[in-house]
Amino acid sequence: MRGYNEFLAGKRELSKATGFDAGESALNTTLFDFQRAIVLWALHRGSAAIFAGTGLGKTAMQLEWARLVEAHTHRPVLILAPLAVAQQTVAEGARLGIPVAHIHEPHEVGNGLHVTNYDRFDRFDPAAFGAIVLDESSILKAHGGKTRTALIEAWEQTRFRLACTATPAPNDLMEIANHAEFLGVMTRAEMLATFFVHDGGETQKWRLKGHAEADFWKWMASWSVMATSPTDLGFDGSRYVLPPLTIRERIVESAPTDTGALFALEANTLQERRGARRASIEHRVAIIRDLVAAEPDEAWMIWCDLNDESEMLASAIPTAVEVRGSDSNEHKERAMLGFASGSVQILVSKPSICGFGMNFQRCSRVAFCGLSDSWEAFYQAMRRCYRFGQTREVVVHIVTSSAENAVLQNIKRKERDAQAMTAALIGQMQLYSDVLPRKRRDGEAMSRRYTLPAWLETSA
């Protein structure tokens, strides 16, 4: 037992840097100051995670990191991205003067930077590349998922690894653990054993060990940087102030699904919620159709959760382009990129298909034809339009059935919890981050106090 305890004690050390120091003069001058600081830090780390809010320029940062790693190693770099995001990456590279090849098969690999979709990564030999970048690395979220395991195992021998996503779900310990494991910092089992204890007799609930709190934050700050705005890192964030966000709720009265009931009862089980959604689908679709008709010159992003909703919305709004899971990749890419560019005026799809990675800032009208129980899906879907770079007020319409009140209230609760938890996580990491200007670390950040999320509250 002593040997294992010594092993864990050794793991408490900060993740060691395995990269190189590029120097400020080597960086692309088009990057903002906070982006340059993050890139230099990530290059020094070698393997690192950039948890940056939507619109902070993760694509620009990962491309600059990849460019300098390729120049340092003289080996090609592979970027993995969601569908259609690959072409956005190529376009962003052109803006920065960084050539990026969009590849589909191994024989297309040459020198320089390459990007392909996640559904093709298993076609490529990791040994052919000097570095790997995961764009929208929240794909690692699911513990035990085949994609998560395959990515970790495939790239475990690669020296340079970069994972980029918006601030990870702050109540999801496994997402943090999976990122650490992908980057070769520490396995999930080692992280839990080193810093956490079981919460009572429930093996799925963990809390920070009281004596490990400072070590945990130092450890996280040694391999990841987290920010929702440049101000979180001590930089000027005035250009990143978002316009107003207005959320308007429309609740459709549901007819009783139980023939013996006088009034519609609130749906609690998944089956009941699906039934409530189907019972009100025509009414909800009609409301969204009328909303679109009232502002015909606006671009609209319409989100749904059921195939029937998607089909009926596309039928009710003749100018809408529908994207379904069964569609070809070519159609999905054409529709998403068309909506981003303006050739498609109205897009109808599910968050699971179009809700990650795309930049839809040209659109300021969003409608949800009901909600699923996933706060992350709601957040990511809304953030396709409400992100840094948006110049107009964004109006989000949420149309639900009265029987789905539990779902709506649950999403609102998760939203409040997420905001509080994210602020707490960022606040703790500010105390130890090497990205922060020295004045900020030693002064303002050290004098502030933060409330930890419940799942990280220490256990004595």
CA distance 298 to 396: 13
Tokens of 138: 């929240």
Contacts 24+ apart (CB under 8 A), 326-329: 329/83, 329/117, 329/119
H-run or E-run covering 345:
none
CA distance 212 to 222: 15
CA distances for 143 relative to 147, 175, 267, 273, angstroms: 10, 8, 29, 26
**Which of 47, 45, 40, 49 minimizes the C-alpha distance to 22?**
40
SS3 160: strand
38 exposure class (CB count in 10 Å sphere: 0-12, 13-18, 19+): buried
pLDDT digits (tens, 9 = 90+) for 41-52: 999 999 999 999
Query: Does residue 173 contact residue 454 with C-beta atoms inside 8 Å?
Result: no
CA distance 232 to 423: 9
Q: How far is CA 219 from the centre of its chain?
A: 21
Query: Does residue 60 contact residue 50 with C-beta atoms inside 8 Å?
Result: no
Give, to the nearest 10 degrees, the angle between helix 173-182 and helix 146-154.
30
CA distance 349 to 335: 10
Q: Which of 331-344 are b and which e, b meaning 16 or more Cβ less than 10 Å from the residue's Cβ?
A: ebbbbbbebbeeeb
Domains (range + CATH), the chain: 2-239 (3.40.50.10810), 242-415 (3.40.50.300)
CA distance 234 to 448: 13
State residue 439's pLDDT score.
Answer: 44
**Which of 333, 406, 336, 408 minimizes the C-alpha distance to 368?**
408
pLDDT digits (tens, 9 = 90+) for 330-349: 999 999 999 999 999 999 99
Residue 133: phi and psi, rounded to 5, are: -125, 130
Other CB atoms within a 10 A radius of the CB of residue 206 amount to 20
Other CB atoms within a 10 A radius of the CB of residue 329 amount to 13
The alpha carbon dihedral of 83, 51, 114, 24 has a sign of positive
State residue 363's pLDDT score.
Answer: 97
Give, in degrees to the nearest 5, the angle at Cα 292 between 289 and 298. Answer: 160
Q: Could you tell me which residues are beta bridge partners of residue 113?
A: 77, 100
State residue 388's pLDDT score.
Answer: 87
State residue 167's pLDDT score.
Answer: 66
State residue 272's pLDDT score.
Answer: 64
pTM: 0.84
CA distance 17 to 160: 11
State residue 389's pLDDT score.
Answer: 87
Give residue 46's region: left, alpha or beta (phi > 0; psi -120 to 50): left
SS3 102: strand
State residue 144's pLDDT score.
Answer: 54
Residue 247: phi and psi, rounded to 5, are: -110, 120
Positions of the chain with pLDDT lower than 70, given as ranges: 1-14, 142-144, 167-172, 199-205, 254-275, 437-460
CA distances for 338 relative to 55, 309, 323, angstroms: 20, 22, 12
